[in-house]
Structure formats: C-alpha cells, structure tokens
Structure 1
Amino acid sequence: AGETLFSQLIVIQEPEVTPSFITLTSAERLFKSLFQYFDRLMIKKPWVDIKADPSWTYYQRLENALYPWIHPYWENAFHLNNQTSGQGIVLCSGNGQFKFAATTIRVLREVLKTELPIEVFFIREDDLSVAKRFYLENEFSDVTLRKLDQSIADEYTHFGGWAMKPFAMLASRFTEVIMMDADVFFLQDPARLLQDPGYKQAGSLFFYDRTLFPNWHVGPDWLRSFLPTMSSLVPNTRWFQGTSSHEQESGVIVMDKSRALLGLLSTCKLNAKNERDQVVYRHVHGDKETFWVGHEMVQTPYAFVKSFGAVIGNMGRGGDDGEPTQVCGVQLHLDTSQRPLWLNGGLYRNKYSNPLEYLNFTHFAQGDDWEFATHCIKNTDKIAELDPDQRSGRWKPQKKKGGSV
C-alpha cells in the first residue's frame, strides 16, 4: 500500500497530470503521523539518531514527494521551526503593491506605534525594485526585506500573486506570524491578535469573509469529494449551509508555526503551481479558502473570529454609489468587542477604479446582505457613526468580550 501511495504521489507531480486530492489527503495525514512520531521521539530521547529508525526513510520519501520545495534550504520539515523565534508581521509586495505596503507600514509604525518587527517578502529580483527596497528598509525601523525564492524552491511553486502568501509565512523568521495583505490597514495595534482566546487555544486564527453569492455548491461538493473526515466546524460554515460562496477572508492570518506547521505546509501545498492551477483555484477564489481547507486536510485546529465582514466608509450617494440609507466602502473586520479592527482594500473607495477616489470614513455597518457591485451593506439596523477621534485614526480598544469560535 505504501509503495502504491508513493507511485501515485510521484505521478501527480507531473504538470500535465491533475492531482488526486484523495491521494494528497491520505499522504498528508500519514505524513502527520510520522512527523508526530519522530517529534515525540526527539523530545523524549534527544540523544537518539532518528535517521537510524527504520521509519525515517519512509518519512523522508513522503516529505520529498509532498513538499519538495522546502529543499535544499531546509534539511527537513523539523528544521522549519528550529530556525524561527519570536513574533512579527509579514507582508508581501511587488512593485504594483508598493504604495499600499509603504502606507500600511507607516500606519503601523507612526500611528499605531506597533513594536512588532516586520518582514516584507518579494518573489524574485525583478519583483520589487532596488530603490523601493531601500526606501522601505531605511524609512521605517525594524523592517527587513526578504526574497522568497532564496528560501523556497520556485521550480515547484512558480509563485505569483496570492499564492506566495503561505510560503512567505513558512519562510518567515518569526515563530508567531501575523500575515497581512499590503492594502490592509489596522485601526488598532495588530499585536492584540496574539492574545485572542481562539488563537491561544488553536494556534491559527482566521477571519470570515462577506456573505455573498448564496446557493453555491462547487466548493462544498469539491471538499466532500476528497475529505474522509472533517471537523465539527465545517457543517456549520456558510459554505455548507448554502448562504455564501465565500467563507474566509485571507487579508489577515495569525499563526503559531510551532503548533500549526502541518496546517501551514498543507496550505502551501494547495497553493503550489500544479495544485492551484489544475484544481484549487478552479473551485475557490484564490488563496482565501486554502488556509482552513489545508488545516482540515491534516486535521490541525483553527479558530475564526466571531464576526463576519462588515463595511466602513460613508453613506451612499445614490446611483452606482449605493443608496443614501446604506453604508458603502471597503471591507471591515471587527474585534471581539465589535469595534473596527482592520480594513481591506486600502484608502480608496475602489482601488480598481479610474480615476481613484479616496474614501471618506464617516460610518461603519454590520450585516449579511451585501450588494457586491456597490460594496454596500443593505442592512440598516447596525450602522454606527465614527467620532472625530476614530475618523483621525485614534482608536481606543475596549476590554475584550467573547472571542473566537
């Protein structure tokens, strides 16, 4: 049975072969068992040479077949965590995202006064110009630029766009990582997320996306087709209840790699070239669902913050800009006290429009009835007006209530 599994894994590495996710899931769960076996052995008997164990060859072959891109930079998966420490923020940026990344870092350092170190990853030498790298490293304190293809073998991954994010988390020197998109703006110090009860319990913390496009079955049917068992969270998702085609918003991810490494490796696998092009991105929108699905594949715990995507901006101006009774703007996420925590999409009303228009931040609203075209929430029963301090970015965090799920 083992040799059959290896032969199947070798075949699905070929670009023209569609990966079998039944095989992948079985292989990753077997890898987890072997990883945990050797991990416990090294803790209980650190003097023992694990490579002399008869099972080590089997483990090594499985690791090479599943995660070939960790070599040659790490000898094996155990070295991934041995070379990390502390807590920090990770952003990914190319030349196109530079203006967002620079503004985001300025907010973190000069407005929120966060003291967490920051790593900015770019993919290859031509991905982010030398001048832009110099600016980020010299304009702000404790910002380090990292080239991803110096840590992850690009031969197997062929990075681009969303797909690089989990790999950047894996390559980060931090053990506890707050990954954020370049156009994410925090309204409170992101370091607070590291104290979230759900994160403390599970080791990975995610945020829900907006409730959009109900009665969508592609993703749930795909998941059912290859996952032999699922956690108790899955049947309660909006995905499985048919109320939304979007479950997770991946603009911010919080992860303790010392506890969630296998879930992160599985997420990386879903974003590798063959897997994402042949299967994953045909069933979900980009990387966003790959984090919790990856954790499910290897049965790694995770938690979601107990609030769905809200909106922050101004009251609609009519027509294509939404009704005057609705709050329209960019996606907002709330903390456990239901206060604005971070927003995604930059400071523009619509970062894809031409000409660009800065958003006027006057209100925020909660609700599950979104109008996608105008980026407005139709619900009008949970609208709050921002006070002068909030409009200027001076947010006062409240004592935590509730937590994650």
Structure 2
Amino acid sequence: MMKAAREDYKRLLKERLGGLQPYPSDHFSGTGILICAGGPSFFTNAYVLVHLLRVTHGCTLPIEVWHFGRGEMSARMKLLLHDLGADTVDAEAVLTSLPARVQNGWQLKAYALMWCRFEHVLMLDADQVPLGDPAELFKWDDYRRTGAVLWPDCGDILETNPIWDACDLKSRTCPAVESGQLLIHKARHWRGLQIALHLNEHSAYYYQLLYGDKDTFLLGLLLTESAYALVPHRPFSDVPFCLFQRNMAGEVLFQHRTGAKWRYADPQVKLPKAELEEDCLAALATLRAQWNGLVFTPPLRSLRAREAEAGLAAARLFHLRRPGEEPARLELLPESEIGAGRAAATMNWHCEETGSAIELVISDAFCPFWRLRQESNGWSGRAAKGDGEVYLTEERTPPAPTNDNVRSLTEEILSAAGFPNPVWMRRRVEISAALGLVAALEPGIGDALAAISGRCGFVEKQVLDAIASELRREPRNADLRADRANWPMPGRYTVAADLDN
C-alpha cells in the first residue's frame, strides 16, 4: 500500500513538472515583505515584527500579512496593521479565484509567496527579529546573480532520506533549509515556486519526509534546475528557543524566535544574547494598549447600527456606572475595541438594530455581558444574563488645563530620549517609565502628550498616544498560545552537534 501511494505521488509530481505555467508578469511588481500570520499568537508576533521594521529600522518596503479568514484576523487587528503601513490579505478570498489545496500555515507560506503582489519578495516568519532594515538584502550580489537566497538550518537532510527517491533526485547529504527567511525573485523562479506549492499541497505525504514547508523551497529549485545562493554559515542556536541567522559575512542578521515567540500577556522567554528586546517589548506595550488579545468579530449589523458605532467611537470616552458603585471610565475604540476601562466584563463592544431601537452591546471574552439602549441623557440597560442595571454617559467634563511645568517636563523627557529624531522611539520603555513616575505626582501628562502628538507624523503620534493610553491601563487577559511541533524527525534529518563559528 505504501509503495503504491509513493508511486502515485511520484506520478503526480512528474505530471506537475510537465505542466508548469509561464510567469504572469502582469500580476506582480515591485519589492516587498511577506508575512503569514493569523490568530492571536501569530498576530502578536507579526505586529511586533512590523512595528520593529517601521519604527525601529525605518523600513519603507511595502508589507503584506496573509491569514485565513475572519476567524484569524478581526477588523480591529487589520486596522492596527494598516496603521503601521502593512496590508492584510485574506487567503480564503484569494483561494476562491486561485484555488489550491492549502489549509494550514505551513502550506500558506508557499501559496502566499506565489500570489503576493510583489515580484521581489523577502518572506519572513512572524516570530522574526531583524537586526536592521532588510531592504539591503535585495542589493546583495548573490541575490542579483541567482535571484534566490536560502538560509541553512542547524542540521542536514540525510542521504538516506526517502525524499530523494520520492522526487527522483540523486541522493545526497546537504544542509537543510530554514524558511523563517527566504529571498526570491519570482520572475526568475516561477517554475520552482510552482513545484514548492505542489509539494505543500500534498503535505500528507511530503511532510512525513520533510519538516513542514522549509525544505520544499529547496526541492522546488532543485527539481527545476534553478540557480540559488545558500548563506555559507549555519545559524548560531540556543535550541529550542532561537536561531540566529547570519549574512554572507557571518554576521547575525535575524533572530528567529522559534521557541521563544512573543506572548501577549505571559512572561516572555528570556534570551541572553537577544538584541532589540526593549524595542520589541515597547511594540508589545503599544499593541496591548490598543487590542485585548481576542479575535472579536461582531455579527453583521445594519447601516444604522454601524452609524451609531461611528458616533460612539468619535465620542470615545464614557462613564459606566452601576447603582452603588463609583463610575468607571470606558474608552470605546474603533472596530469594537475597548481601551481604557477594559476588564473581564468589558472586552469588546458593538451596536445592533433591534426593531426600531439601537442597542449597545458590551461583551466579555465569550458573549454579550451588557445590553443598553439610548435614552435622552445617555444609555441604560441590564446584564444579558441575570440582574444588574448599568448606565453609560458620555464624558463631557473638559480635561483639566495642562500645567505648563508638566508640559515642559514632558517635552524635556522626550527631548532627552532624542525626540524628534526617530531614534527616540527605540527608548519607548524608558520614556514610558519616566512619564509614569511624573503622572503619579502630577495630572495632565495625557494632555501634554496629546498636544505634542498632534504635531507629529502618524507613527510617532501612534507611539505617543499608546504611551498615554498605557498610563491608565488595567491588567490584561491571558494570552492564547500556539502549539509547537517536535524536532528533529528521526531518520529524516540529523542535527549538527558542532555548529561553525
């Protein structure tokens, strides 16, 4: 039975090699970065990566983040990436017009690499930490010469691995590829990409011989006899936590946090040799101030309900009051997110049209918790389950005038960190800590930051606004984690015991 199945897959591969399509030059143009990331855990890592590229490194390359459907990427999550200048692509929508047998994240990498809009592509895993602007990689002589640069993994594909026979390739022992980063010119390697996708489409067979997608790109190039460059240095490694991938000269270029992914709320895995950790933690803090860690998708709403949502988001700040309790400040952010005042019973919000009335629905992490209807002086309602009244009124009290001394001190703290030079954003954690100490003694820090951010560019404004929002933040909900597969695969790979220096 196994032999018959193996022959079937060999036949399918031979047919695919004989039916390769020409490069559709009208589909692609330019240079860009591709990231595949859906769901809370991978989105958290992708946000940190995009924030690092934009804010720390000043990278201006266009970025596409691919995902599977609304279940992996809410409108709020998309908005946060768009604010950093990254486009999101729903693979489910693309698959309707360009069908393929793609169902999981490993398979998605090969598919997205083919169909992202760029001709020159750097594909990065979401848990990457580049140590500089990766735009420079496209200028490498090896890339210009071959149109493809691969990075080695810690171990080798063994000569005894059945993959060579499965692909009718000469058996050999060679460095395995680590696909957390891959540089390719699609116009020159369209044939190899088609074969890589084919291998991933038939993952039920090929993933028994290979560790996921990573070596399918190498095999695609070998099977189409395409030129490529392999970085001549193995990664430094503190397996299972991180691979420190290098450039052609042997210098560390990427920190691939394979076993130390950024966590939304839990303590982070400490890596003694990690660089740019403060920048990444600052990005996490910015994310937490704007997103609760959930993929929240409200039900379909009427136009009236969406208009009501727009009005509430524009007003933004409210007071939520229950009889016998002190009012709590509640910040209604666009796309159903709650900022200040977020708590177990107030995680997300949206509006619904019920008969002739508009209801404001405030949800916990699982389902609607409060339902309120508009009255002449605000909103009132009850708990969706059980008793309990609640009232919501817009915050109309004008903010206290900013103390000139507080504003001056705020500007001095920012200036000491390098403001307005973009380098100041690399010291985001220090700035936040310093302003937090001032805020504990003097009111008006938020107003001072708002006045300064109002004359800044978008990314700078976002960072300042996030600092202001974080100063009044409450504890976050628990993170959602992704499982990791086992490594190595006995009899398929060997792990190099002594890596080169």
- Taking structure 2 as the reference length, the TM-score comes to 0.50
Q: Residue 196 of structure 1 corresponds to which residue in structure 2?
A: 140
Report matched runs for 1:102-121 at 5 Å. 102-121=47-66
Q: Residue 76 of structure 2 corresponds to which residue in structure 1?
A: 131
Partner deviation per Cα, 1:134-183 (whole Å, 9 max, x = no partner): 11112x13x11111122234864142121100111111110011000000
What secondary structure sits across from 1:291 in the alignment? Answer: helix
Partner deviation per Cα, 1:286-341 (whole Å, 9 max, x = no partner): 111111112222222222111112137xxxxxxxxx9xxxxx95110111221110
Q: Residue 308 of structure 2 corresponds to which residue in structure 1?
A: none
Contact persistence 2:67–2:73 (CA under 8 A): yes
Find out whether 1:301 has 2:241 as its counterpart: no
Contact persistence 1:211–1:309 (CA under 8 A): no
Report matched runs for 1:312-331 at 5 Å. 330-331=242-243
Distance 2:45 2:114 in 1: 23
Q: Residue 92 of structure 2 corresponds to which residue in structure 1?
A: 149
CA RMSD of aligned residues (A): 3.4
Find out whether 1:258 has 2:183 as its counterpart: no
Q: 1:28 to 1:257 in 2, by over 3 A?
A: same
Larger CA Rg, structure 1 vs 2: 2
Report matched runs for 1:19-168 at 5 Å. 20-32=8-20, 35=21, 78-79=23-24, 81-95=25-39, 96-138=41-83, 140-141=84-85, 143-153=86-96, 156-168=100-112
Distance 2:9 2:500 in 1: 43
Contact persistence 2:36–2:105 (CA under 8 A): no
Tell me how far 1:254 sits from its aligned partner: 0.8
Q: 1:220 to 1:131 in 2, by over 3 A?
A: farther
Tell me how far 1:78 sits from its aligned partner: 4.2
Q: Give 1:201's aligned amino acid.
A: R
Tell me which of 188, 193, 198 is aligned to 1:269: 198
Q: 1:379 to 1:294 in 2, by over 3 A?
A: closer
Q: 1:351 to 1:236 in 2, by over 3 A?
A: farther
Tell me how far 1:17 sits from its aligned partner: 6.6
Q: Give 1:108's aligned amino acid.
A: L
Q: Residue 339 of structure 1 corresponds to which residue in structure 2?
A: 251
Distance 2:500 2:134 in 1: 28
Contact persistence 2:44–2:263 (CA under 8 A): no
Report matched runs for 1:179-194 at 5 Å. 179-194=123-138
What secondary structure sits across from 2:194 in the alignment? Answer: helix
Distance 2:228 2:130 in 1: 22
Contact persistence 1:333–1:341 (CA under 8 A): yes
What secondary structure sits across from 1:157 in the alignment? Answer: coil
Contact persistence 2:63–2:87 (CA under 8 A): yes
Q: 1:378 to 1:157 in 2, by over 3 A?
A: closer
Q: 1:23 to 1:362 in 2, by over 3 A?
A: closer
Q: 1:269 to 1:346 in 2, by over 3 A?
A: closer
Q: Give 1:27's aligned amino acid.
A: E
Tell me how far 1:264 sits from its aligned partner: 0.5
Tell me how far 1:211 sits from its aligned partner: 2.6
Give ranges in structure 2 of 5+ residues lacking alignment: 276-486, 489-494
178-187 or 334-343, which deviates more:
334-343
Report matched runs for 1:164-179 at 5 Å. 164-179=108-123
Q: Give 2:115's aligned amino acid.
A: A
- Taking structure 1 as the reference length, the TM-score comes to 0.61
Identity %: 22
Find out whether 1:311 has 2:262 as its counterpart: no
Find out whether 1:280 has 2:219 as its counterpart: no
Distance 1:362 1:22 in 2: 43
Distance 1:88 1:17 in 2: 39
Distance 2:499 2:109 in 1: 35
Q: 1:132 to 1:302 in 2, by over 3 A?
A: same
Contact persistence 2:193–2:220 (CA under 8 A): yes
Contact persistence 1:100–1:346 (CA under 8 A): no
Q: Residue 396 of structure 1 corresponds to which residue in structure 2?
A: none
The structure richer in helix per residue is: 1
Contact persistence 1:330–1:349 (CA under 8 A): no
Give ranges in structure 1 of 5+ residues lacking alignment: 1-15, 36-76, 239-246, 313-321, 323-327, 364-370, 383-405
Distance 1:381 1:122 in 2: 36
Distance 1:306 1:193 in 2: 15
How many residues align? The count is: 279
What secondary structure sits across from 1:178 in the alignment? Answer: strand
Distance 2:68 2:108 in 1: 8
Structure 1 residue runs of 4 or more that deviate by more than 3 Å after TM superposition: 16-19, 153-156, 226-230, 346-352, 376-382
